Structure 1
Amino acid sequence: MNSKVFSVPTQNRRTHYWVTFAVLSVSVASYTLMQSLTIPVLSELETEFNTDQNTVTWLLTGYLLSASVFTPIMGRLGDAYGKQRLLVISLAALAIGSLAAALAPTIGLLIVARVIQGVGGGVLPLAFGIIRDEFPREKIGGAVSVVSSLLAVGFGAGIVLAGPITSSLGFRWLFWLPFIVTATAAVVAAVVVPESPVRTPGRIAILPAVLLSAWLVALLLGLSQAPKWGWGDPRTVGLIVVAIVLLVAWIRVELTVDVPLIDMKMMRLPGVWTTNLVALLLGVGMYASFGFIPQFNQTPAANGYGFGSTVTESGLILLPSAIMTFLTGLVAAPIARRIGPKTVVVVGSVIGAIGMFMMAGWHDEPWKVAVSNAVIGTGIGLAFACLAGLIVAAVTPAQTGVASGMNANIRTIGGSIGTAVMASIVTAHFLPSGFPKEIGYTAGFVVLGGALLAAAFAGLMIPSISEKGIEDKLEQERLDRELAVMSA
C-alpha cells in the first residue's frame, strides 16, 4: 500500500489559533515539567519508599525509555489518524500516569506510573503538527519557537519548582498538580482543538515499531546504567551492541515495508539530518547540565566546592536559566527573520558553550553559578527555539509529526549520552567524605561546553533558508490543502 497524503474536509468555523496555541503550550509545558520534577527529590523518594538508589533511579530511566519509544510512534499515528485525537490520548496518558503516581503505595507502582506518563511524549510532535496545520504562515515561526523553548524551560522549571512543592505540600503533589493540569488540558483539547486537515493513510506496520522500540530501549538502558556498571562491563557493551544490530535491522525493514513508520528518505534530507545532529549535541549539553548542577550546588562547602544548598535554594540558582530560555524563545522568531534560523542556531550554540565554560572555571560563589546558567539558558533557548521550525520546513505536512517526534527523540538520546558521560567523569574520583572531587565537575562542564561548540559547527551544515522562505513554503502548502479540500 502506498503512503499517500490527502486532506479531510474541515469545519467551516474553526477554533481561533491562539486558543489552540494556549492548549498546546500547557500540554508541552506539563510534559516537560514531568521530565525533571523528580530529579531533585530522588533521595527523599528513596527514603520515603525504603528502597535503594539503583531502584529509585528507575523513576527517571523508566520515564525516559517510555517517552523515547512513544514520542515518534505517537507522532506517526497522529499523521495517519488525526493529530487532535492523538493529542488527547497523549494528555490522557499523562493524566492517568500522574494520578497513578500520586496514589502509588510502592516504588514499583510509582515506576509503572512514570512509564505510563512517558506515553505523553507524543504531545511534542503533535503540537508542532497542529501549529503547522492551523496557524497563519506569519505566525507559525513564532508559535513553534515558543513551544520549542518550553522544552528547555519546562525541564529547568521542574528542577526549580520541585523543592518548594515538596517542602510545602509533600512529594505527592509533584504528581497531583500535573494530574489536575493535564486532565483539564485533555478535556479542553477534545472540545476546542480542531482535527487535522491532513492525513497520511495506510496501515502502520508492526515490525518497524517493535524494532524501533527495541533498539531505543537497549541503547538508553545501556547508556543510563553505564556509569554504575562501567563502560567495559559485559552488560553495557552487550546492550550497546544489541542496540546497533537492532538499529541496522530497523533501517532495513523501514526501507522495505510499504508504509514505513519512519521514512528513511526523509531522514536523509540535508535539512533533517543536520538539524537532528544539532539536536543530539544540544541534548548532550542541556540535559546533563540540569542533572548535575543541582548536585554541585548541594555539595557541602566543607568539600572545597559547592554551597550546601537545599533543594529549594539549588533550584533558585537555576532559575535564571529557565527565565532566559523562555525570554529568548519569545524573541527567537523575530531575530530569525532578520538573520535566518540557521544563524540563530549557530550563535545560540556558541553562547551556550561560553556559559558552560564559565560554569567550569567560575563557580566559587552562588551568584557566579547563576550568571553562568543565565548565559547557558540564553544560548540553548535561542538554538532550541529554531530547531523545530527547521525540521518542519524540511518535510512535507504529512511528515511533520514523525519528523519532529524523531527530532525530540534524538534530543533525549543526546541527553542520555551526556548524562552518562558526565556521571562517569564526575564519579571517577572521590574525596574521603564520599563526595566527588571538584575536578570531576570542572572536567565534565568543559566536555559539555565542547558538545555545544560541536553543535555550532554542525549547525553550519544546515541548509540555509530564510524565515520568510519557511513562511512562503508553509503558505503554499496551506493553499494546496485548501484546494484539495475544495476539490473533495
Structure 2
Amino acid sequence: MRRTRRTRQTGGLPGPSKTRSAPLVPVLAFAGITVAVMQTLLVPVIKDLPVLLGTAPADATWVMTAALLAGAVATPIMGRLGDLYGKRRMLLASLAVMVAGSLVCASTDDLVVMVTGRALQGFAMGAIPLGIGIMRDELPRERLGSAMGLMSSSIGVGGGLALPAAALVAQHADWHALFLGSAGLGLLAMALTYAFVPEPPLRAPGSFDVVGALGLSLGLVLLLLPLTKGGDWGWSSATTLGLLAASVVTLVLWGLFELRVPAPLVDLRTTARREVLLTNLASIMVGVAFYAVSLVLPQLLQLPASTGYGLGQSMVVAGLCVAPLGLTMMFVAPLYARISARHGPKATLMLGMLVIAVGYGAGLGLLSAAWQTVLIAVVLGAGIGLAYSSLPALIIGAVDPSETGAANGLNTLMRSIGTSVSSAVIGMVLADTSVTTGSVQTPSMEGFRISFLIATGAVLIGLVLAAFLPARRPPAHPVLLASGADARPSPPPVLRAPAESAGRTVRHDGSPSTGP
C-alpha cells in the first residue's frame, strides 16, 4: 500500500500525536453538548413565558422559534466558513455568539430583546458540524469513529441532560439563572477549545458565497417559519400557504444560482450524489423520530393522574425520566465504532433505525408508569444514538475533505428540518385529539399513541432510504503516515472541489492536482 504524508501548511510536520489529540474529543463533545443545551433550556418554563415576558402566548413562542431558525441558518453557513477560514476559529466564534446571546437574555424581561438573545444562542448550533470536521482533520483512524459518533449525538445528549437540570434551576431560582448558567458553560467551552483544540491546516479553495448564504437563509426562514407557527396561524391560512410557496420559489432560485457559481455555499452536485442525498433524507426521518419522544414523554409524565392516564410527576422527575435518552445516546458511541468498523456505517444506521422502531412500537403499550417511560427513553436513546453516529461517517465518506464542514452542516440542517416537521405534525395531532379536563384542554392518550405511530412510520421510511445507500466496507488495513502511525481510512477517489472550474482538484491530503 502506498504511504501517504499528511502535512501542516505551517511547518510540514506530520499529523498530531495521540498524546496531543487526547483531550480533543471530550473538549469538542462538551462544546457540542453546550450549544445543544440551548434547544431545551426553556422547556421547563415555556408555559410561563407569557407571564414572565408580559406578552400574549402566541408572541411568547417566538422565544423558541428564534433559536430554531437561527440554528438552521447557521449550520451550513458556519460549516462553509470553517472550511474556508478555519474550523477552530469559527467554533470559537460560534461559542462567543452563544455567550453574548445568553448574557442578553439574562438581563431582560422584554420580548424583543429576549428573542434577539435567543437567536444569538441558536446561531451556535453551527459548532456541531465544525467539531465533526475538526475530528476528521485531526484524529487518527482508530479514534475517529467513536469520536464523530459522540459529537453527532451531542445534539440529543445536550437536550436530554438540560431538561432535569433546567427544571431544577427553574424551581429553585430566578429563571434568568438559566441564561447565566448557559453563559458560564459557553465561556468554559471557549477556554477549553482555545487550550486543547488545534486549528486544522486544510482549507477549501474559493471564497465565501455571500449571495448564496443570503438566499439559503431566506429560503430556510420562509420554510421553517410556517412549520413552527402554522398551528397558531392556521395551516390553511393565506400567511402559512404564502410563506411555504415563497420558500419553494426562493430555494429553487437559490439552487439554480448555486449551480452557476464557481465556489458555491453548498455544492449541489455533490449533494445530489446517491450516498449524500439518501443520507440527508434519512436524517430528516431520524429527526422526526427523535423529536417525537421529546414532545410526548414530558407531557405524559406531568399530566395529573386525575386524567386517568397522566402520571402526575413533577417537572424535575419528568426531566429525570427523560434524561436516559441523552445519556444512552452518549454511551452508544463506542458501540457504534465497533459495529461500524466491522459492518460499515450503513449497517449501523439501519440497525439504529430498527431499534428506534422497536422502541416506539413497544411504547404503544408501555405508557402507564414512570418506569416504563424510562425504559422507552433508554431503548430510543440507543437507537437514535446509533443512527446519529452513523450520519457524519456516511457524509464524510462521500465528500472531499475540503467540504467536510459545509457537508456536515447541511446534514445537521436536515435533522433540524426533521425536528421542525415533527414539532408541527405532532403538535397538530395532540391539539386535534385533546380532551377537556375541567376547563382545560389536555393531550389525550390517543394523541400520544398516534404520535408514536407517526414516529414509527418516519423511521421505517428512513430505513427504506438507508437500504438503497451503496454498501461501503471499511479498509482492511490502515493507511500509514510517514512516521508509521495509524491514519484515517483510505480516501475515496479524488473528488472535484469547488475549484473545478479553475482546472484543478483537491486530494484527500489537501494537495492540489491538475490531473483528472
Q: Tell me the TM-score normalised to structure 2 length.
A: 0.88
Q: CA deviation at 1:340?
A: 2.0
Distance in 2 of aligned mates of 1:483 and 1:409:
26
What is the aligned counterpart of 2:448 among 430, 441, 460? 441
Alignment CA distance shift 1:481-1:394 (3 Å)? closer
Alignment CA distance shift 1:300-1:126 (3 Å)? same
Matched, 1:355 2:359: yes
Match of 1:3 in 2: none
AA of the residue aligned to 2:36: T
Distance in 2 of aligned mates of 1:157 and 1:106:
28
Match of 1:452 in 2: 459
AA of the residue aligned to 1:33: V
What is the aligned counterpart of 1:306 among 307, 310, 320? 310
Does the 8 Å contact 1:81/1:201 carry over to 2? no
Does the 8 Å contact 2:281/2:465 carry over to 1? yes
Match of 1:461 in 2: 468
CA-based RMSD: 2.3
Alignment CA distance shift 1:55-1:138 (3 Å)? same
Match of 1:224 in 2: 228
- SS of match in other structure, 1:432: strand
AA of the residue aligned to 2:396: V
Q: Please list, as runs of the form range in 1=range in 2, the aligned pairs for 1:154-169 lying within 5 A after superposition.
A: 154-169=158-173
1:421-448 C-alpha deviation (Å, 9 max, x unpaired)? 0011111033222213321121111111
Alignment CA distance shift 1:95-1:467 (3 Å)? farther
Distance in 1 of aligned mates of 2:245 and 2:352:
34
Does the 8 Å contact 1:39/1:291 carry over to 2? no
- SS of match in other structure, 2:206: coil
Alignment CA distance shift 1:311-1:269 (3 Å)? same
Matched, 1:31 2:35: yes
Q: CA deviation at 1:254?
A: 0.2
Does the 8 Å contact 2:283/2:418 carry over to 1? yes
Match of 2:495 in 1: none
1:415-471 C-alpha deviation (Å, 9 max, x unpaired)? 000110001111103322221332112111111111112212211122111244797
Q: CA deviation at 1:291?
A: 2.4
Match of 1:145 in 2: 149
Match of 1:266 in 2: 270
Distance in 2 of aligned mates of 1:419 and 1:471:
43
- SS of match in other structure, 2:332: helix
AA of the residue aligned to 2:461: A
What is the aligned counterpart of 2:210 among 185, 201, 206? 206
Distance in 2 of aligned mates of 1:118 and 1:409:
13
1:200-229 C-alpha deviation (Å, 9 max, x unpaired)? 132222221111001100110010012222
AA of the residue aligned to 1:77: L
Return 5+ residue gaps in structure 1 as ranges. Answer: 1-5
What is the aligned counterpart of 1:369 among 369, 373, 385? 373
AA of the residue aligned to 1:443: I
Match of 1:431 in 2: 435
Does the 8 Å contact 2:139/2:488 carry over to 1? no
Does the 8 Å contact 2:266/2:406 carry over to 1? yes
Alignment CA distance shift 1:304-1:251 (3 Å)? same
Matched, 1:417 2:427: no
1:65-107 C-alpha deviation (Å, 9 max, x unpaired)? 0010111001001101111111110111111111111222323
Q: CA deviation at 1:353?
A: 1.4
Matched, 1:275 2:282: no
Residue identity over aligned pairs, in percent, reads 32
AA of the residue aligned to 2:105: A
1:284-325 C-alpha deviation (Å, 9 max, x unpaired)? 111232123212221112222211222111111212222221
Q: CA deviation at 1:394?
A: 1.2
Does the 8 Å contact 1:146/1:385 carry over to 2? yes
Which one has the bigger helix percentage? Answer: 1
Q: Please list, as runs of the form range in 1=range in 2, the aligned pairs for 1:90-105 lying within 5 A after superposition.
A: 90-105=94-109
Distance in 2 of aligned mates of 1:470 and 1:403:
27
Q: Please list, as runs of the form range in 1=range in 2, the aligned pairs for 1:38-53 lying within 5 A after superposition.
A: 38-53=42-57
- SS of match in other structure, 1:104: coil
Return 5+ residue gaps in structure 2 as ranges. Answer: 1-6, 480-486, 493-505
Q: Tell me the TM-score normalised to structure 1 length.
A: 0.93
Q: Which is further off, 300-309 or 60-69?
A: 300-309
Does the 8 Å contact 2:353/2:463 carry over to 1? yes
Does the 8 Å contact 1:7/1:481 carry over to 2? no
Matched, 1:253 2:257: yes
Q: Which is further off, 321-330 or 386-395?
A: 321-330
Matched, 1:404 2:408: yes
Q: Please list, as runs of the form range in 1=range in 2, the aligned pairs for 1:79-94 lying within 5 A after superposition.
A: 79-94=83-98
Match of 2:9 in 1: 8
Distance in 2 of aligned mates of 1:475 and 1:325:
25
Distance in 1 of aligned mates of 2:11 and 2:289:
42
Q: CA deviation at 1:168?
A: 3.0
Q: CA deviation at 1:184?
A: 2.5
What is the aligned counterpart of 1:322 among 318, 322, 326? 326
Does the 8 Å contact 1:74/1:122 carry over to 2? yes
Q: Between Structure 1 and Structure 2, how many residues are aligned?
A: 480
Q: CA deviation at 1:10?
A: 4.7
Does the 8 Å contact 2:270/2:399 carry over to 1? yes
